[in-house]
Structure 1
Amino acid sequence: MKESIVRLRALEKQRFAYRYALNVVDFDAETVAPEGSADGRAEACEVLSRADFDLLVNDNTAALLRQAAQDAETEQERAEVRELQRAYDQISKIPADEYAAFTKLTQQSIPAWVKAKRTNDFSVFAPYLEKIVAARRAQAHYFAPDRDPYEVLLDQYEHGLTIAQCDEFFATLRETIVPLLADIRDHGTPIRTDFLDQDWPIDAQRKVSEKIMQLWGLDPAHCYLAESEHPFTTEFWRGDVRITTHYMPRDMFSNLYSVAHEGGHALYELNIDPAYDYTAVTGGATMGIHESQSRLFENYVGRSRAFVHCLYPTLRELFPTQLADVTEEEIWRAVNRAEPGLIRTEADELTYALHIMVRYEIEKALIQGTLAVADLPAAWNAKYKEYLGVDVPDNAHGCLQDIHWSMGDIGYFPSYALGSAYGAQAIADLRKTMDLDAQWAAGDMEPLKAALKERVWQWGSMKEPQWLVQSLCGGKFDPHYFTRYLKEKYTALYQL
């Protein structure tokens, strides 16, 4: 191994250590930290993020990257240089003080968002969001002053994605979803839902979480489940991935599908090739590919007729009174109902993309400067009325429901819809050679996991995103696999 590659690996391990520390702080903040702890945490994160910035962005690192690019001999070494160079290019143009200040800002912003959501008071969060929008716009300008700032941010989450591609993708989805929803509303056979809203004891819900993790094959020695306001996954490294859920006393299925979703993220991170540990190529490649795995396990597996059959005896055992007169067929139909609502994380597969479209259009307008933060609630409410036909009663159920913007994650939301579409094509391709329904009905996830590990998981960020998407999908990505899946599923479900 050339001397420059040895030095490169040392740099990667140092960066891993800083990111590990920041992840510990973030996970602690979202799960167990006391409410008044934000200021001290923000100061610590500002120092840590500045140290990470200084480690990467300096003349020595720039020279090292140039030399390592010449000396790299293996595919992995070339990929490590590529990913580090990409990270260097992304943040080196941002002034160091602004980079560190932004980390501090998001640490202060998150608890402000939590308070705003709990008290239904947008004014608590608005000043922080204004600063975040301004900072993200400035960062995009530093990186590529001649490009649309929102497109620059899109590219950071989904390398190569453009606004034009996003617009075309969502237009394709809209062409199928809107008329299908109208058809369901006007002609669909009603679905029983009366049993969904009742008392579901939290202790029993925790056992449901344990069952899902067991079925997914998530080893508790390497994957820990905690509780938070908004479910999420944090990967410390391949041997330590944490997921969270949020228990609702009157909605057991919210937790069930949160754990299924976050468990999909965890499986990806836990199955990356150990050869990539502590390097720039460990970790998921893009948010769209990551969301394809979480949405795949949440929906294509978790809401399948076969999996409901597998889980039904456990649910009846844990909730004998609540499900005394409810069949597994009724559960399957209820958890797949298409019902325009207010909350993205509770949305069905059909309306989910409409929730994402609202966020995509709003955050694009915020960054492009055509929408002021002060006008966000009204814009949000108007789009929910237009796209989903629902009236938003308050900001807690509206523009304050997601944590992402408080974390500075602007440009992330389209990844959810892309991930859903990737998953549809992947499952269609896997069905050509695998009897997935028989496996899922028996609670056997191993064949599916082995296939996904071969196609995506093992590679981390070693391969370019375009290669990974084609590997996952079994060919060039085509969103019509997703629209056909939705039309076939909901036509049958509602007997249209």
Structure 2
Amino acid sequence: MQADAAYEDLIRRSREASLLASCSSLLGWDEQTYMPTGGVEHRSRQMALLAGLHHEKATDPIIGELLEQLDGTPLVQDADSPAAVNIRELKRNYQRLTRLPRSLVEEMARTVSISQQEWITARSKADYAHFQPWLERIVALKQREAECLGDGTADYDALLDEYEPGAKSAEIAVLFDALRTDLVPLVRAIAESPIKPNVAILRGEFPVDRQRIFGELVAGALGFDFSKGRLDTTAHPFCSGIGPGDCRITTRFHHDQFADALFGIMHEVGHGLYEQGLDPAHFGTPMGESVSLGIHESQSRLWENAVGRSRPFWSHFLPIAQRFFPESFPNVSLDEFHLAINRVEPSLIRVEADEVTYNLHILVRFELERELLSGQLTAADLPEAWNRKYAEYLGIRPSNNAEGCLQDIHWSAGLFGYFPTYTLGNIFAAQLFAQANTDLGNLDNLLGQGNFAPLLAWLRERVHLQGQRYRSSRLVEVVTGSPLNHAPLVQSLKQKYEPLYRI
């Protein structure tokens, strides 16, 4: 078979596998939004079947033969060309998947489909004992998966590689330690500042129907295309890119809080903009997929924090918010509001944490899941280990497990190796936003005018349309001219928070 014909066959098979995966994504979205709880068992069987079919299709020996035929051909000579990128990444994916037996893939899909519902029940009752046996099953399955993917040991890096290709946990630990060292003095200085935000202005009566309309208004202004996406509610906000023209984002509303749902929407919009910015012509191939979860998270954190918590953004949107909620926002000044949404205070809930302390939440999870996978920590001992680390890193202890180790859905979904991508996303976001500010001029002026199109266009060209051309750290270096560095994140935080808290 000629190289061109082999490549065409390879891409056809890749797209078929992606279509199957998109069916699983749609069922997963439905399970977290509208599916009745009585459908859990049936849904678990559906998910297991689809996972098995996808695995079978993605590991067909013919794919291995096609990849061998394409090795060394002119199609791979230019390493950054779309064909070379697709061949490289499909080979990596094929080698990874062929190490996993179909029975394990199906068992994992079946287990996590049920365990996510059991997590919802356990979290609602703060009943860790209800969830513990499910976590034990998932840890055992992830250990088996890591053994298959690695060198026969339960190596955390084998799981991390799924979300952040090429990353090594030892290197991440060094990066995170350096970030923590630089953040601790800033957190301490803010805590000692006499400036205290009036967060009471963010509480009151905020009718959910108006919150939804306002949130959709903001999402649309940022560039989220509602003709190709939708917003729904769920227990834990997420974004699902089903495929070209179909991106689902979710949030959770509280009638007595303004910021939680809105910033949840802006966070998921960042993910959604990335999904909507992928090249549909490359759907089903690596050139039409996101680089990594760290880069994906960089988009959500950039829009949520660098844009959404900025003073210029609210100079435009605060008057609009006051018209939506006149009873709750009377006579609130821009300075008062800006300080309130940038309150820095150690808290228990990760998704509600401020920018400055957020990464400490990630460190807790990163360290604990490595210990769970290695066997250093048992599921039975997780709550106390969690509480101990929160006391050490944030100076607070959960009063119950719902605000402790049950607060995140990730482990119930089998997402081990996922958490460090959040802090990597913050680091990537700071570097990208700084470069966008340089390339586009003063972004503050654009944000203050409610003009977000130039920033989105810049991200589309530099990040979204690049697909998987580069690994995440290489992509950031290509875009910014600088290697991965935590310093821009620390600098951006100091530039914002030192004036706010007069330190």
Gap change, CA 1:147 and 1:442, over 3 Å in 2: farther
CA–CA distance in 2 between the matches of 1:161 and 1:20?
Answer: 26
| Structure 2 partner of 1:240 | 246
Secondary structure of the corresponding residue to residue 330 of structure 2: coil
State whether residues 154 and 373 of structure 2, in contact with CA within 8 Å, keep that contact through their aligned partners in structure 1: no
Moved more, 338-347 or 276-285: 276-285
**Match status 1:294 vs 2:300:** yes
| Structure 1 partner of 2:144 | 138
**Match status 1:4 vs 2:6:** yes
CA–CA distance in 2 between the matches of 1:109 and 1:34?
Answer: 15
CA–CA distance in 1 between the matches of 2:470 and 2:311?
Answer: 34
Please state how far the C-alpha of 1:9 moved relative to its aligned partner.
1.8
**Match status 1:414 vs 2:414:** no
| Structure 1 partner of 2:290 | 284
Please state how far the C-alpha of 1:238 moved relative to its aligned partner.
2.9
| Structure 2 partner of 1:479 | 486
Q: What amino acid maps onto 1:34 in structure 2? A: P
Post-superposition Cα deviations, 1:301-320, rounded to whole Å, max 9, x if no partner, equal: 00000001111011100110
State whether residues 474 and 483 of structure 2, in contact with CA within 8 Å, keep that contact through their aligned partners in structure 1: no
Secondary structure of the corresponding residue to residue 51 of structure 1: helix
Gap change, CA 1:127 and 1:472, over 3 Å in 2: farther
Please state how far the C-alpha of 1:323 moved relative to its aligned partner.
0.5
| Structure 1 partner of 2:258 | 252
CA–CA distance in 2 between the matches of 1:84 and 1:392?
Answer: 44
Give the TM-score normalised by the residue count of structure 1.
Answer: 0.97
| Structure 1 partner of 2:227 | 221
1:429-468 → structure 2 map (5 Å cutoff):
429-433=435-439, 434-468=441-475
Please state how far the C-alpha of 1:67 moved relative to its aligned partner.
1.5
CA–CA distance in 2 between the matches of 1:467 and 1:38?
Answer: 41
Q: What amino acid maps onto 1:12 in structure 2? A: S
Please state how far the C-alpha of 1:135 moved relative to its aligned partner.
0.9
| Structure 2 partner of 1:163 | 169
**Match status 1:47 vs 2:53:** no
| Structure 2 partner of 1:56 | 58
**Match status 1:92 vs 2:94:** no
Please state how far the C-alpha of 1:166 moved relative to its aligned partner.
1.4
Secondary structure of the corresponding residue to residue 108 of structure 1: helix
**Match status 1:489 vs 2:491:** no
CA–CA distance in 2 between the matches of 1:52 and 1:262?
Answer: 27
Post-superposition Cα deviations, 1:281-331, rounded to whole Å, max 9, x if no partner, equal: 322110000000000000000000000111101110011010113112111
Q: What amino acid maps onto 1:444 in structure 2? A: N
State whether residues 232 and 245 of structure 1, in contact with CA within 8 Å, keep that contact through their aligned partners in structure 2: yes
The one of 347, 351, 354 aligned to 1:345: 351
Please state how far the C-alpha of 1:108 moved relative to its aligned partner.
0.8
Please state how far the C-alpha of 1:59 moved relative to its aligned partner.
2.3
**Match status 1:185 vs 2:191:** yes
Please state how far the C-alpha of 1:471 moved relative to its aligned partner.
3.1
**Match status 1:274 vs 2:276:** no
Secondary structure of the corresponding residue to residue 432 of structure 1: helix
State whether residues 426 and 474 of structure 1, in contact with CA within 8 Å, keep that contact through their aligned partners in structure 2: no
CA–CA distance in 1 between the matches of 2:100 and 2:277?
Answer: 34
Post-superposition Cα deviations, 1:92-131, rounded to whole Å, max 9, x if no partner, equal: 1122111111111111111011111111111221111111
CA–CA distance in 2 between the matches of 1:158 and 1:189?
Answer: 39
Gap change, CA 1:322 and 1:485, over 3 Å in 2: same
| Structure 1 partner of 2:67 | 65
CA–CA distance in 1 between the matches of 2:59 and 2:393?
Answer: 44
State whether residues 5 and 72 of structure 1, in contact with CA within 8 Å, keep that contact through their aligned partners in structure 2: no
Q: What amino acid maps onto 2:457 in structure 1? A: A
Q: What amino acid maps onto 2:502 in structure 1? A: Q
State whether residues 176 and 487 of structure 1, in contact with CA within 8 Å, keep that contact through their aligned partners in structure 2: no
Secondary structure of the corresponding residue to residue 28 of structure 2: helix
State whether residues 288 and 468 of structure 2, in contact with CA within 8 Å, keep that contact through their aligned partners in structure 1: yes
The alignment-based identity, stated in percent, is 35
Post-superposition Cα deviations, 1:357-394, rounded to whole Å, max 9, x if no partner, equal: 11111111101110000111111111111111112011
Secondary structure of the corresponding residue to residue 242 of structure 1: strand
Please state how far the C-alpha of 1:178 moved relative to its aligned partner.
1.6
| Structure 2 partner of 1:204 | 210
Gap change, CA 1:238 and 1:468, over 3 Å in 2: farther
Secondary structure of the corresponding residue to residue 201 of structure 2: coil
CA–CA distance in 2 between the matches of 1:151 and 1:6?
Answer: 33
Q: What amino acid maps onto 2:327 in structure 1? A: T
Secondary structure of the corresponding residue to residue 255 of structure 2: coil
CA–CA distance in 2 between the matches of 1:112 and 1:146?
Answer: 31
Q: CA RMSD in A?
A: 1.5
| Structure 2 partner of 1:20 | 22
Please state how far the C-alpha of 1:472 moved relative to its aligned partner.
4.0
**Match status 1:103 vs 2:109:** yes
CA–CA distance in 2 between the matches of 1:187 and 1:274?
Answer: 50
**Match status 1:403 vs 2:371:** no
Please state how far the C-alpha of 1:488 moved relative to its aligned partner.
2.6
Q: What amino acid maps onto 2:462 in structure 1? A: R
Q: What amino acid maps onto 1:33 in structure 2? A: M
| Structure 2 partner of 1:30 | 32
Secondary structure of the corresponding residue to residue 191 of structure 1: coil
Post-superposition Cα deviations, 1:233-278, rounded to whole Å, max 9, x if no partner, equal: 0011132111011111221211110111110111111112233123
State whether residues 223 and 456 of structure 2, in contact with CA within 8 Å, keep that contact through their aligned partners in structure 1: no
Gap change, CA 1:101 and 1:183, over 3 Å in 2: same
**Match status 1:174 vs 2:180:** yes
State whether residues 80 and 280 of structure 1, in contact with CA within 8 Å, keep that contact through their aligned partners in structure 2: yes
CA–CA distance in 2 between the matches of 1:479 and 1:309?
Answer: 29
Runs of 4+ with >4 A deviation: none
Structure 1: runs of 5+ lacking an equivalent: none
Give the TM-score normalised by the residue count of structure 2.
Answer: 0.96
Structure 2: runs of 5+ lacking an equivalent: none
